[in-house]
Amino acid sequence: MTDYEVLRVFCGPDGAHGNELGVVRDGAALPGETDRLALARELGFSETVFVDDAVRGAVDIYTPSVRLPFAGHPCVGAAWLLGVDRLVTAAGAVGVRHDGEFTRISARPEWAPGRTTKQYGSAAEVEALDVPPPGEWIYAWAWQDEAAGTVRARAFPGRGDGIDEDEATGAAALLLTAELRRDLTITQGRGSQIVTGLRAGGLIEVGGRVRAAG
């Protein structure tokens, strides 16, 4: 088995929860896309990131079923682990800002994989949702406090690859921020937290707390 580490990305204020991320620091140990996809499937995390150049921040991202040019929680987790000020993804260069307990990345909304955002009338409605059948990537959300910009969300990838619900999803948070055109604080899944902000040049910043798992 190739060596890997596990991080929890977008932890709550108490350091709990967060979306688990597999990180292979030595990407050269598994250079081929087929082998990387097979490991991502074996590990079973919503995403696994392979570090191809730790100094440059070059990373390669996989779900258990597809390679992604860009994804939020792998970039936030890799930026925290590597301590870099930018990442290089297949989609483009991703800005990084280390801000106290938060690690923040800046990216373009068009880099994010497609998701369908679906608004509900209350946080309780979102919390009561059943997992929908596979077929569409749905980001279900509702205002907790619209004036304060706080949101309750759940994410259903719909790929049929064993990930029925995503605990914390940076790319979807990025898309929702672009759609609503305002900074947000999102509570997702069991209690993960994502913070977002509009930035110059059409960029969206997405950030959160990261902890080593275990």
The residue segments making up the domain with residue 186 are 111-211
Query: The CATH number of the domain where 16 resides is what?
Result: 3.10.310.10
Per-residue pLDDT of the chain (214 residues; tens, 9 = 90+): 789 999 999 999 999 999 999 999 999 999 999 999 999 999 999 999 999 999 999 999 999 999 999 999 999 999 999 999 999 999 999 999 999 999 999 999 999 988 999 999 999 999 999 999 988 999 999 999 999 999 999 999 988 888 899 999 999 999 999 999 999 999 999 999 999 999 999 999 999 999 999 7
Cα distance between residue 169 and residue 147, in whole Å: 23
Query: CB neighbours (10 Å) of residue 67?
Result: 13
Q: Looking at the structure, tell me whether residues 171 and 139 fall in a common domain.
A: yes
Is residue 50 exposed (0-12), middle (13-18) or buried (19+ Cβ within 10 Å)?
buried
In a domain, 95, yes or no: no
Q: What are phi and psi of 96, to 5 degrees?
A: -130, 140
Q: Looking at the structure, tell me whether residues 74 and 142 fall in a common domain.
A: no
Q: Looking at the structure, tell me whether residues 137 and 176 fall in a common domain.
A: yes
Q: Looking at the structure, tell me whether residues 28 and 77 fall in a common domain.
A: yes
Please give the DSSP secondary-structure letter assigned to residue 9. Answer: E
Q: Tell me if 46 sits within 8 A of 8, measured CB to CB.
A: no
Question: In the chain, how many domains are there?
Answer: 2
In a domain, 151, yes or no: yes
In a domain, 187, yes or no: yes
> DSSP 3-state assignment of 24?
strand
Cα distance between residue 56 and residue 139, in whole Å: 32
Cα distance between residue 213 and residue 97, in whole Å: 22
